[in-house]
Structure 1
């Protein structure tokens, strides 16, 4: 995987603050920022902070960050965007007092899948999205532990797609995420480990 510079992308919505240093990129999210469309809640939120760069078919992208989520719906991970009604976000989110690893896949309306990862709190998380053919495969891991499959979702193989680091703070001001790496490389060779 090759590192991407923090200036390689464009923000969907400019954060409250961005500070780039030798330790990575620290992003402070705006209160009320989120990405969701319709399902169950009835609202559309398109105020996420996502730094997007081109994501062609046949490639993978990784985002690495320190998981220091503290309040309801604090979230960080990767955002994969086709258009305003077609996107995927995946990463770690604080929900009902616990950290969960999950994904939201949106095709006009959003869905949400998640699983608790309480032992990931305060540790280094990597989320990897891999485009191959008509599919996007999302994996994640903490520190150097084995990859876990998060989601396999359909993604038009001819779509023009952008992706990159994402964070949101739906419930509070002052939430900041320390992103430590942003990488790209070839798509995963297989859905299943050999």
Structure 2
């Protein structure tokens, strides 16, 4: 069962990992502009390490969930945004919407020393508000996502050391360019989900 996120987190109360070119808070949320070539990736297939994507993070202890809502308005290859779980530079999860193969894709990258990547096309999510939810329980993080108020889709179940000190929140990157602008409308927290299904 998915638990409600009962606490909005003011964007000003979270901390930037790799501040973006610009982040402007207003009545509509937070508008973030990326730096050129920003990304999170470790080694697999490409042979490089990137750890300069933009992430605005808050505490993510066991037994909690974090939700990130944003508008999926992407036009160029690898434009991406969503939710990140971060332990350190070699241990993290990013999940959200990314432009690949000419259309928006719902996916996740799980990194334990090296990164993996999974994708599924969501062309009808383009230009819509999307929410990504990460829920931490036991030795796992469950990642879910949905367009607007539609039903949740399970994206990934990934391992995370139950004793790890982790942070979670929003992220965005533009590996192929500068100046991607992402409108985030909500960062929220609550209790972890009580069941996987």
TM-score by length of 2: 0.97
**In structure 2, what is the equivalent of residue 115 of structure 1?**
120
Deviation for aligned residue 1:72? 0.4
Query: Superposed, which structure 2 residues align to 1:21-170 within 5 Å?
Result: 21-170=26-175
Distance 2:102 2:37 in 1: 18
Task: List per-residue Cα deviations over 1:95-150 (Å, max 9, x = no partner).
Answer: 12110000000000000001000000000000000000000000000011000000
Are 2:185 and 1:185 equivalent residues in the alignment?
no
User: Counterpart of 1:140 in 2: which secondary structure?
Assistant: strand
Q: CA deviation at 1:69?
A: 0.6
Question: How big is the shift at 1:10?
Answer: 1.2
Contiguous gaps of at least 5 residues in structure 1: none
Picking from 5, 8, 12, the partner of 2:10 is 5
Q: How far apart in 2 are the matches of 1:45 and 1:24?
A: 27
Aligned positions, number: 192
Alignment partner of 1:7: what SS?
helix
Report the TM-score when normalising by structure 1. 0.98
